[in-house]
Amino acid sequence: MFFFGALIAATSARACDLCGCYTPQLDTMSATPTHQWWNGFYGAIAEQFTHFGTLQFEGNEVANPTGQYLNSSITQFVAGYTINDRFAVQLNVPFIYREFKRPEGFRIDRGTESGLGDITLLLKGVAFRYSSARERDFNVSGKNPVAIEHEPDFTLSILFLAGLKVPTGDTSRIKEEFHEIEIPGAPESGIHGHDLTLGTGSYDGIFGGELALRYKKFFADQTLLFTLRGDGAHDYDFANDLSWDGGPGYYFVRQRDTILGLQFLISGEHKDVDRFRGNPAGDTGITSLFLGPRIVASRGHWSAEVDVDLPVLIDNTALQAVPDYRLRGAISYHF
């Protein structure tokens, strides 16, 4: 069934700027079940850019007299293989670039951090699927009529995802936690080593699922993903993370080889506080909710998506620099 592609619609952990695992939305690649495209390799390049320019203390915006900010760019290189119409495996290799400005005592610290992030290996599968009966037309031109099969009007899929994130990203920025000292009268920073690190130093489990449905040109999906963190580096343990992503949409064009759709996207995350030297790191807990549009499109073997995420709710602990907006885009190709 070509709707196995809905499995890959999940954009795992997008709400988390540290992990941000991407999975291509390959279900837009064909509107006809006669295209048996699922067996084989696929690749993608995805970008997630987040601007953190607002300071919040316990969920309330506060002044930012030093103009501190963090620009975070995560570029992911994705390679996957669809084994059959139920299972696929995927490798995500992220490259991270971060630019920041923050107060450090009575001076201003500017800098960048870049390099390889934590690599993730994912297994994806279909737990349940249903589709209404396909319709048939007959091409009566010529001597022998030929049956032409059309896609079902209604489809429903329940999908699962499991994976392992390995600590390939540099964790040296976390060592800053050992040296942080508050100087009386100096402006406080909302950007710390745990915000700039390229990796967690931990082996993490990734578990999730997705509900995806379509009726004619209307569609909707909802993804839920849980990241179970292991023991981190330098006595710093990142908290478990729960993220979600999805919403209703409509395909303006849904033809044999071309698709164009618009989705109203709701995404967010909940993360408890991290722990440093066995004690809670008070400035690390967050619950966020984003809204925005997503455009999905495909032509032949190519598939692409672009979305804009704007925060409507951010509840954080202590003082943190929080997102002002997030931009995401990707392009994928199925061989």
| Nearby residues of 60 by Cβ (< 8 Å), 6 or more positions away | none
pLDDT of residue 257: 87
- Phi, psi at 10, each rounded to 5°: -65, 135
- Is the Cβ–Cβ distance between 267 and 243 less than 8 Å? yes
Tell me the average confidence (pLDDT) per consecutive run of 10 residues in the chain, 335 residues long.
Answer: 35 47 52 51 94 97 97 96 90 97 96 96 92 63 60 90 96 94 91 96 95 94 94 97 95 92 96 96 96 95 94 97 96 91
94: enclosing H helix or E strand: strand 87-104
Between CA 35 and CA 298 the distance in angstroms is 14
- Is the Cβ–Cβ distance between 117 and 169 less than 8 Å? yes
| Nearby residues of 140 by Cβ (< 8 Å), 6 or more positions away | none
pLDDT of residue 134: 64
Domain harbouring 306, CATH code: 2.40.128.130
Q: How many structural domains comprise the chain?
A: 1
Burial (CB count <10 Å: 0-12, 13-18, 19+), residue 214 = buried
pLDDT of residue 327: 96
pLDDT of residue 147: 58
Q: Per DSSP, which regions of 216-317 are E strands?
A: 218-228, 236-237, 241-254, 258-271, 274-276, 279-281, 286-299, 302-316
Burial (CB count <10 Å: 0-12, 13-18, 19+), residue 93 = middle
pLDDT of residue 37: 45
pTM, two decimals, is 0.89
pLDDT of residue 180: 86
Cα-Cα end-to-end distance for the chain: 18
pLDDT of residue 85: 82
Domain extent, residue 135, equals 2-334
pLDDT of residue 181: 85
